[in-house]
Structure formats: C-alpha cells, structure tokens
Amino acid sequence: MLGLTTAILLVAGNIIGTGVFKKIVPMAATGLSENYILGAWILAGIVTMLGAFSIAGLAKLTTEAGGNFEYLRLCYGDFLSFLFGWAYFMILGSGSIAAVSFIFSQSFNALFQLPDPLAHLQNISIGAIQPFADSGIKLLAIAAIVLLTWYNYRGVKKGTTLNNFMTTAKIAGILLLIVLGFFFSQSAAYTSVAVVEAPLKNMSNLSWLAIFFGVMLNAFWSYDGFSNVAAASAEIKNPKRNIPIAIITGVSIVLVLYVLINYAFMKAMPLHDLASIPENQVAAIVVANSIIGNTGTIMISILLLLSTFGYLNVAVLLFSRYYYRMAQEQLFFKHVAKIHPVYKTPYIALIYSMIWSCVLVLSGSFDVLTDMAVFGAFAFYVLLAIGLIKMKKKGLIKEKIPGYPYAPILFSLFIIAVLTSTFINNPVRTITGIALILSGVPFYFYFKSQKKKQEAFIG
C-alpha cells in the first residue's frame, strides 16, 4: 500500500509536465504586465485548489479504485462514468501519454541526435497519417511507453518509487531555475513593463478582461491532472483521509513553484524578449541559456527529460486504473479487470493502455485529438463538482469538506466560463470533440448487453 508522501508526489508528478516551462511566452505576448501575469498564475492556482477541495470531498465516498470514473458512477450512474472512461482510453489519457512521450523523445533528440531508420518510408501515408515520418523520435517515444508499462506491470511500488525520485528531481530542478532567475535579476536590471503595457492603454475594460482571462486559461492548463491520483484509491493507505490531503498538498506545492518560476523568468528576461521566443523553443531553456550559457541549455534540457519521463510514469500508472475499474463494473472488456497473480497490478489494463498510446504515437494525431476533446474533459469537472453537492445533500458524504459549498460552486462557475469561451472561440473543434467522446455510446450499449447476458446466464 502507498503512503501519504507517495500520494502527494503522485499528485505533483501528474501536474508538472511541460506547460510551466513554455506558457510564459504566449502570456508575455499579450501585453499584460508582470503583476497581472503573476496574478493569472495565482488565480488559476486558487481555482485549481477549489477543484482540489471538490475532488477531496468526493474521495470520502469510496475506497474503490477508479477515482473520477467511480465518483461519476456513484453520482450519476453508468452512462456518464463510461463516457468519462472511454474518453480517457481513446483520447484524453492515451493521447496525453502519446503527446508527452513524443515531447520526451524530441527533448532527447535535442541533446543527442537520433537516427531516422525509416526515413525512406516517410512519404507513405494512410489517409492524412504518415506513420513512418520522424521514425527515430516515434520509436524512442514508443520505447519509453513500453519500458514504463513494463516497469509498472511489475508492481505498483516500482512505479511509485520511480515517481518519487523523478518528481523530487523535477522539483529540485525547478528550484534551481528559480534561484538562477533571482540571482540573475540582481545583476542585470530590466524595466520591460512600461514597454509591454503601452499597447493596452487605450483598450476597453472588456477587451482587457478577455486578454487576462485568456492568460489565466494558459496557466490553468498547466495545473490540470490534480485529480488523477484518486484512480489508485485501492492501493493507497487510508484513502478517505490520505487522498484529500495528497490532492490539496500537491496542488499547494505546485502553485508556489509555478508562481516563483514565472517570477524568476520575468526577472531574468524582459517581457518583450520572452514574447519574442519562437514557438519551437522552450522558454525555460532560453532563459537558462541567457543566464549561464550552454550549461543552462543542457541543464534545462535534462530537466525537461526528467519532467516528461516522470509525467509519463505517473500517467501510465494512474490512467490504467480507470480502465481496470470500468472492467470491474463490466463497462469494458472483462479480462481488463484481471490482476496479476504475482505483481498484483492491473496488467491487462496496462497493456491495453500501452498498445493504444503507441498507435496514437504512430498516427501523430494525439495533439489534435486531445485539443478537440478538452471541452468534454472540462465538462466532466463540472459534473464532479455538482456531484459533490448532490452527494452531500443526500447525506452520503457526512464528513466536513474544506470550502464547502463555496468551493464546488465557484469551481463550477469558472469551468462553465472556460467551456463557454472555448465554444465561442472554436465551435467546430468543440463539437468534433464532443462527437469523439460520444463515439463511445455504441460501445456502452454493447457492454451493457454483455453484462445482461452474463447476469441472465448466472441467474
């Protein structure tokens, strides 16, 4: 069984990916001042904390594995919980694993040039998909997924031990970057705020608010993943107590780190320089290079490798528990509910997740899929927050919940604002994402029919 410290590091490890090292660039490009950018990070962190309070409350419902899937099932029944699990298997979870493994491979390629063994096949296409393009990067990405699946297959303790090391290393690297940024700011003064603020002087309050809201959304994406630790409830000691503490503590640690590192970025470089960083470069690498030259580039490239590899390990470990719990409830292929007789892990669920993630790596479509499905992902957050209120009113959660009822209400209102903004700005992609998630409906009825047949046979 996993202890509280491990659970906290699982939360932090599943939040800290690549976003915090890159998001300062689009934020700086908006023309907002340093104080407003920091305010966006703080406010997004507070909203995430409200969400953490809501999920922490739902953790009082059950000690079963499955986390958000199980909470949705208890609150609303099989259909909505199945759609959540389906979305994670087909798009959100597997797509995240594919995308981050690709970034890990690209980061490795930046340090050590990878060969392209299938370059002669790169023009072969299946529709719009070119499975053999960037073959060296894709093969390393697949190798990372397979390696981490094998590692987590051999026991949950192995996966969490690796996470504890990787997350600690990530946090140490971020702290080092923060110290470098603070030290550099003392030796070279920049006064970039006035230059950046100038374009905003004649802007209406409504337009300014829209820009600030957009910056806050950039920050919010970097906080996502805080609730996934609950998927491993059955493997955590005293989950009703430790999961809420782990989520709230993990989010608190990440909030402080995110605010400090972005402050360090802006101390090390003026905002107009940060805004001019090309899209294909990572802000943290550019900042570190400006402070200590090539040593900084190598140091942050290694930090990115650790960050992506660490996130991958946590994602492989946690997401498989959603599919395992679905199968237990006969809402997925029944053999996915099998536990390894020696290692006591949901090994079939791990293998399914690995295979589909690798297919998405080859397809190269993971970023498009996850971008389209993000609307549905946030809709599930609203359902979870409302579900907490529903369960409290029914008396199924008797414990005191931090911030209740204000936390779930405010969190829901913010997420609804996110959904509205997303739909207005990109209705086609939003509707397509909803359609992708609803593609699971025929499978839902198939699994339900199989369940009825089994119950009739047993009866």
Q: Please, what is the average pLDDT of the chain?
A: 87
Q: How confident is the model at residue 132 (pLDDT cuts 50, 70, 90)?
A: confident
- Residue 330: strand, helix, or coil: coil
Give the per-residue pLDDT at 186: 45
Give the per-residue pLDDT at 458: 67
Q: How confident is the model at residue 109 (pLDDT cuts 50, 70, 90)?
A: confident
Angle ∠(282,221,368) on CA atoms, nearest 5: 80
Give the per-residue pLDDT at 198: 41
Angle ∠(350,352,358) on CA atoms, nearest 5: 100
DSSP 184-230: HHHHS----HHHHHGGGTT--HHHHHHHHHHHHHHHHHHHTTTTGGG
Task: State yes or no: pLDDT of 171 exceeds 80.
Answer: yes
- The residue-averaged pLDDT of 33-47 equals 92
Termini Cα distance of the chain: 36
Give the residue, 32 or 456, on which the prediction is more confident.
Answer: 32
Give the residue, 244 or 377, on which the prediction is more confident.
Answer: 244
Q: How confident is the model at residue 194 (pLDDT cuts 50, 70, 90)?
A: very low
pLDDT digits (tens, 9 = 90+) for 316-356: 999 999 999 999 999 999 999 999 999 999 999 999 999 99
Residue 345's φ and ψ, nearest 5 degrees, are -115, 155
Task: State yes or no: pLDDT of 255 exceeds 80.
Answer: yes
Question: Per DSSP, what are the bridge partners of residue 236?
Answer: 2
User: CA torsion, points 389, 59, 417, 200, in degrees to nearest 10?
Assistant: 130
- The residue-averaged pLDDT of 167-194 equals 71
DSSP 350-361: HHHHHHHHHHHH
417 token code pair:
């604002």
292: left (phi over 0), alpha (psi -120 to 50) or beta: alpha
DSSP 383-431: HHHHHHHHHHHHTS--S--TTTTHHHHHHHHHHHHHHHHHHHH-HHHHH
Give the residue, 16 or 373, on which the prediction is more confident.
Answer: 16
Alpha helices in 269-332 (DSSP H): 271-275, 283-292, 294-328
- The residue-averaged pLDDT of 57-65 equals 90
Cβ-contact 402, 354 below 8 angstroms: no
Interior/surface letters 250-284, b for 16+ CB within 10 angstroms, e for the rest: bbbbbbebbbbbbbbbbbbbbbeebbebeeeebbb
Give the per-residue pLDDT at 117: 87
Query: Residue 195 contacts by C-beta under 8 Å, 6 or more apart in sequence?
Result: 270, 271, 272
Task: State yes or no: pLDDT of 193 exceeds 60.
Answer: no
pTM score of the predicted model: 0.87
Residue 155's φ and ψ, nearest 5 degrees, are 140, 135
pLDDT digits (tens, 9 = 90+) for 378-421: 889 999 999 999 999 999 998 888 889 999 999 999 889 878 87
Q: How confident is the model at residue 375 (pLDDT cuts 50, 70, 90)?
A: confident
Above pLDDT 90, what percent of the chain? Answer: 47
Residue 83's φ and ψ, nearest 5 degrees, are -60, -35
